[in-house]
A and B are shown apart, each in its own frame.
Chain A
Amino acid sequence: MSDNQDFSVVGKSLPRSDARIKAVGAAQYADDIFLPGMLYGKLLRSPVAHARIKSIDTSAAEALPGVKCVITGADIPKIKYGNWRLVPESQDEYALAIDKVRFIGDEVAAVAALDKDTAEEAVRLIKVEYEELPGAFSVDEALAENAPVIHDEYQQQTPNISLDRKISYGDLDRAFAEADLILDDVFTVHATSHAYMEPCSCVAEYDHDGRLTIWTSTQAPYFVQCLLALTLEMRENDIRVIKPYVGGGFGGKMEMRPWEFCAAFIARKLGRPVKFTLTREEELATGRRRHPMKIHSKVAFRKDGMILGKEFIVHLDGGAYNSMGPTACFLCGNFGAMLYNYPNYRYYGAHVYTNKPPAGAMRGFGAPQALFVAETQMNMAAEKLGLDPIDIRLMNAMETGDEIPGVATISSCGFKESLLKVAEMTDWRERRKNLKPGQGIGIGCYSFISGGVFNWFNTRYNFTRAEVRAFDDGTVHLMTMASDIGQGCDTVLRQILAEELGLKISDIRLTAADTAVTPQADLGTWGSRVTLMAGNAVRKAAQEIKEQLYKMVSLKFDLNVIHDMRCKDGKIFPANRPDRNISFGEAVRMAQRANRGEPIIGYGSYTPRNKGLVTPAFSFGAQVAECEVDRETGAIEVKYMTTAHDCGTPINPMAVEGQLEGSVHMGLGYALCEQFIMKEGKTLNTTFLDYKLACAEDMPPGVSVHIDTYEPDGPFGAKEAGEGLVSPTAPAIADAVYHATGYRCMDLPITPLKLLKGMKKI
């Protein structure tokens, strides 16, 4: 359906607009910002997992030369905050602990000093007296009878369950009664780190006119603005949040965080700029992470492989605060019913507090966990029913037009094509039968959202907006709060705008992610929302510009009928008379002259309406992993990855490819080597020496193809690319390991020890 050939800019692998500045090291990240008189901040974090704070003595820290400010929970407004503003009681965090600490790393006090060393020393001089409480360190411990109540100020139906969600449709009991095969399994999946290259950092400055500016490494400037206003008791518009270059986020930077609050609070108090930059150890020991989950999944099959129904019960180990857990809890229920048609489905998801660092949003947002389980069970069912794993998927696969009852309609879907493509590319049927001992080939699939439709932040603005100003020199200025955090939306949005207006990328100036300047609406970069949502807003803004300019062509050539007009190659002309063209700049000049010099401005916004409960558009794909297992040491080497995926129109295929490689890297770590080693709530591996990110040398070669689809709700047919792809890797590798060894992983990650135990070697 796509009309790729007609595109001039969209669908082209253009170099990223930030490639040069990053390659030469000139891009300024938050920590690169130095302001005159700037102080350095440092947080004191709780060394205990669960305790009441009895007293805090900051006198020694304050007496240390060079220390300019020490604040504790007693100094700040007693206001709780959280991203889920729609559910006020879900807002469960103070910027600094006031009553209790609930995990090792909970922020207790903050210091600002003339230099980092002094700030660090001052933090060590703060004396806190804790009354330690028993802790709960797993879902089971938190839900046990007489478990310590982690947020005892709330009335909770079940202690430590902060929030739950139910989905139910069809007649599941009947499905189980009629089933020929029922799989009934409990899986556990673990926490992993976003491991973004740039640790969190911010610089705050308070003006003489009482306004605050903060440069911060964030995915969502608007969230930071709103929640700083709430917690500092300021007006939103008196706070300016600027996103400088950001070195990755993966979901870990989409909330207002204590260091942002403390930088702003101290900057306001002292009238001096304050910088906070976290260390990698702080990030790994206390930072947000992917939700560990305990998942009980029961699936009913007919003997020919047809899915009859599924019950999906998920307990999210949320850590000490809600963070983005409610969204993960919500989405997990949707991902549990994705990819295949589940005519009967029941979901119960519960977000459980534990005395651990809070889990938050992380690439996939519930999908990697739900799909690891769903895809593993598809592979198990195929084996039990004597079917090929690809055949059983084809039989149940979603298609364009399918409906998830009451939840969503699939507006474009290249899933079956993806399955057939990977089967063909890998010679699946043959290789599945004929491999050497120790070799395995396995499959995993995914679907993902293109942004969410649920307004949990309770924004009163559009979900996203764009403003475009056109100039008579043939250039335009795009302003948007869409936040490039390394994924490339600054380039992709320029491509969309350039395509719509018939301009070149170099004709577009971009100002993005500055709450004082860019349009006051955009929820940020998460949930793969930017290309579709901000892309649609940019297109609409461009269309407003075009309407103003098209009239000028009619005027110039005295056309007496309404013509179908085109913008291309910097010119505007009737589709059937390209010779009657004027340049973009000339059209702008004429339009301004005709309207008393008023500037040519186009506004566009996008808020999904009538798009169900989840997302306007779903991506799909299939991935095959080939691995080799050392059956004595349990070492697993992934040899090759083959991917076919449907992201609609790839606006920039090279950027999509980059996303794909990054997601294989992250999925590989999730499957095999990344994990937090925890003891009683303490993270023991807090450096990259012992937190095992896959290295470049661990990356397998691979190949990927785009399945050609056109998403009607997306800009130029585009939808999500790159986030969903993190999901299929772990189930594909796990299936390949099973194929190689007979060990079926139900408990990620697949460590050599687990594998050897599974193979009865230990």
Chain B
Amino acid sequence: MTLPQFKFLAPTNLDEACALLKKHQGKIKVKAGGTDMIVRLSHRAVKPDYLMTLKKIPGLNEISWDDQGGLVIGALALLREVEVSPIILEHAPMLARAAHATATVQIRNMGTVMGNICNASPSADNIPTLVAMEASIVAFSERGQREISLDDFFLGPGRTALAADELAIAIKVPAPAPKTGVSYQKVSQRSKVDIAAVNIGALVTLDGAGNCARVRISMGAVGPTPLRARQAEEFLAGKPASAANLAEAGRLAAADASPISDVRASKEYRKLMVEVLSQRALAEASGFAAGN
């Protein structure tokens, strides 16, 4: 299919980009890698008058770490860069796993983690781990800069808390507390290279006694936005990550999921997979936390 007509904008700095965004509010779409946006354009799912690329803005592809501030992933950091980044692999290896689980290497060489987030698909591979790790989005506009917690970022499929004049310029991931482990688990219809039918991100921080001090579980593709498994999180708090407790947490997570049946999976399968995958994610995360 051919692309519809639009004006292509390629600002070279953030101020210029924000000015354009404000000027053409409602008639402009933003792209980074374009792997979702170009498809949506050619299918006429979106019909903007202007398409603005961020690709000409220097510095937006940074991946950096500092012990206090944690991890920063710029809006233009490619999925493939995150997948293989030594910084990510050292400090947040599950983000690399999630990036690796996204589409094919050809797509990962074009697409960005930020794009995967801002596309706000409930099944996005990179969201659950970032939610579990309490990541936030740095939003930039002429009005200034603010951070939006990922917990509050998703409003519905394809809808985010970004204001019409705001650009998402970076992902911030706080440095994990000591004795913290993270896991990303996914099932899909095809064994490899596939969109998730269900995915789970989990973070477990253990206390001195080896009990779960803090647990965060994010569930993808089981609701209109990524959901937190709050009952399971609360249940595990203060308890050891025993097989029985994890099994109960899995059941509670499934109770918090509200999946639908669609072409990718049925409601009953998704519920069961939340139970299975959250147990697996919690087991792996608590294992990492304990240093196993």
Contacts and interface: CB of A to CB of B under 8 A. Distances in A.
A677 B263 CA distance: 6
Interface in B246-284: 263-266, 268-269, 272-273, 276-277
Interface in A718-757: 751-753, 756
B190 interface: yes
B187 A752 contact: yes
Interface string A676-707: 01000000110001101011011000000000
Contacts of A762: 268-269, 272
B1 interface: yes
Contact of A698 (B193, B264, B266, B277): B193
B192 interface: yes
A637 B272 CA distance: 20
Interface string B163-195: 000000000000000000000000101111111
Nearest 8 Cβ contacts at the A-B interface? A697-B192, A695-B193, A753-B269, A677-B263, A632-B276, A692-B190, A685-B263, A673-B190
A684 B264 CA distance: 10
B80 to A, nearest CB: 16
B1 A684 contact: no
Contact of A694 (B187, B190, B265, B273): B190
B68 interface: no
Q: Select the residue from B187, B263, B272, B277 with max chain A CB neighbours within 10 A.
A: B263
B265 A753 contact: yes
A761 interface: yes
A116 interface: yes
A762 B272 CA distance: 8
A633 interface: yes
Interface in A275-294: 279
B124 to A, nearest CB: 13
B272 A673 contact: no
A756 B272 contact: yes
Contacts of B193: 695, 697-698
Contact of A689 (B2, B195, B266, B273): B195
Contact of A673 (B104, B189, B269, B273): B189
Given A117-B2, A756-B272, A761-B272, A690 B190 contact: no
Interface residues of B, number: 22
State the main secondary structure of chain B at its contact with A: loop
Contacts, number: 54
Contacts of B4: 117
B105 to A, nearest CB: 10
A56 interface: no
**Most interface-central of B104, B193, B195 (chain A CB within 10 A):** B193
B263 A690 contact: yes
Interface string B189-214: 11111110000000000000000000
A635 interface: yes
Interface in B63-119: 104
Interface string A657-685: 00000000000000011000100000011
A614 interface: no
A: interface residue count bin? 20 to 34
A-side interface mostly: loop
- Name the residue among A279, A672, A695, A753 with the largest chain B CB count within 10 angstroms: A753
Contacts of A685: 263
A636 interface: yes
23 contacts: A117-B2, A633-B273, A633-B276, A636-B191, A637-B191, A672-B191, A677-B263, A685-B263, A690-B263, A692-B189, A692-B194, A695-B104, A695-B190, A695-B192, A697-B192, A698-B190, A698-B191, A698-B193, A752-B187, A752-B189, A752-B269, A753-B265, A756-B272
Most buried by B among A633, A637, A672, A695: A633
A698 B188 CA distance: 13
A117 B47 CA distance: 14
Contacts of B272: 756, 761-762
A279 B1 contact: yes
Given A116-B2, A279-B1, A762-B272, A635 B266 contact: no
Contacts of A634: 269
B263 A751 contact: no
Nearest to B197: A752
A302 B281 CA distance: 52
B36 to A, nearest CB: 11
Contacts of A761: 272
Contacts of B265: 753
B195 to A, nearest CB: 6
A53 to B, nearest CB: 27
B122 to A, nearest CB: 14
A667 to B, nearest CB: 15
B191 A633 contact: no
A751 B189 contact: yes
A753 B266 contact: yes
Interface string A158-183: 00000000000000000000000000
A637 B2 CA distance: 38
Given A633-B276, A685-B263, A756 B192 contact: no
Contacts of B264: 690
User: Which has the most chain A C-beta neighbours within 10 Å: B189, B191, B194, B277?
Assistant: B191
A685 B104 CA distance: 20
A654 B2 CA distance: 38
Q: Which of B1, B190, B193, B264 has the most CB of A within 10 A?
A: B190
A718 to B, nearest CB: 35
Contacts of A695: 104, 190, 192-194
Contact of A753 (B263, B268, B277): B268
A635 B191 contact: yes
Contacts of A116: 1-2
A636 B192 CA distance: 11
A311 B55 CA distance: 66
Nearest to A699: B192
Contact of A633 (B187, B195, B263): B187
Nearest to B5: A117
Nearest to A749: B189
A525 to B, nearest CB: 29
A635 B271 CA distance: 15
A694 B187 CA distance: 15
